[in-house]
Structure 1
């Protein structure tokens, strides 16, 4: 069963398609599409610093039933300490501006992001909006209000 969702993509930079690809799935089993740094020249991220990196694209999701999430690339994080400053970026269905990634360098050495380098991944998921109902008490559970580490695992 093929599961495909039509998502509109707009080139915000002329470098897309000319020097850099649209987001793409690196393998048939990939959940996320790789996002590339749409840069004219390399950008240095100093130790402990953060830099906003453009992707050169904007998207339009088909309805509020979907969200696009921007996740860090595990290879950049594990090998070079490069992560996203907000951990996960949320692209709401009504946002149609350029997708940009604020990367943070968690290492003690500078890192240079190269033009076209894969810097993050884009995952599109279904969304349910909650209809909150105020109650005086919540149903009891085995865990209850036990917080961090309360399950002993």
Structure 2
């Protein structure tokens, strides 16, 4: 098991810490740390604070992902999904919520707004070469295989 430290930022002690909702869950639910109701109009987005910061070891990242229920029922997603939190970032985790639905969406203090999934990141070095190896696909992309 990999240890990740979490801190509740001052003024957010009333909020739950990120929690997995079942033993098989991949993500920890993040809660809104808004001071008052925040309304996101259709087609608009807002940065929603979570009131927490984390410290994780090098070689790990945290990904902020949408909650499937909010996406299905209200059209709410994470704009930069998945949002990446680097191992050396120590600031407050914020979630950029985007309203793709038809109705305004209200975010209340304590609402579960996204999930935090941790993933290992391999250490990679880039090597400059004169040409790349050939593959059957080649440079085909963006729908090159049809529908």
TM-score (norm 2): 0.93
Q: Secondary structure at the match of 1:134?
A: coil
Match of 2:40 in 1: 45
Q: Secondary structure at the match of 1:103?
A: strand
Q: Which runs of 5+ in 2 are unaligned?
A: none
Aligned residue among 24, 38, 50 for 1:29: 24
Question: Is 1:9 matched with 2:3?
Answer: no
Deviation at 1:60, TM superposition (A): 0.4
Q: Can you list the C-alpha shifts for 1:94-149, whole angstroms capped at 9, x where unaligned?
A: 10000011111112210111221110100111111321111122111111111112
Are the equivalent residues in 2 in contact too, given 1:13–1:57 (CA < 8 A)? Answer: no
Aligned residue among 80, 88, 100 for 2:94: 100
Q: Can you list the C-alpha shifts for 1:8-61, whole angstroms capped at 9, x where unaligned?
A: 111114333x3x210011111111100011123321111111111110100000
Match of 2:120 in 1: 126
Question: Is 1:79 matched with 2:73?
Answer: yes
Take 1:134 and 1:13, find their aligned partners in 2: how far apart are those partners?
47
Q: Which runs of 5+ in 1 are unaligned?
A: none
Take 1:13 and 1:50, find their aligned partners in 2: how far apart are those partners?
25
* Corresponding pairs, count: 147
Aligned residue among 54, 66, 71 for 1:59: 54
Are the equivalent residues in 2 in contact too, given 1:143–1:151 (CA < 8 A)? Answer: no
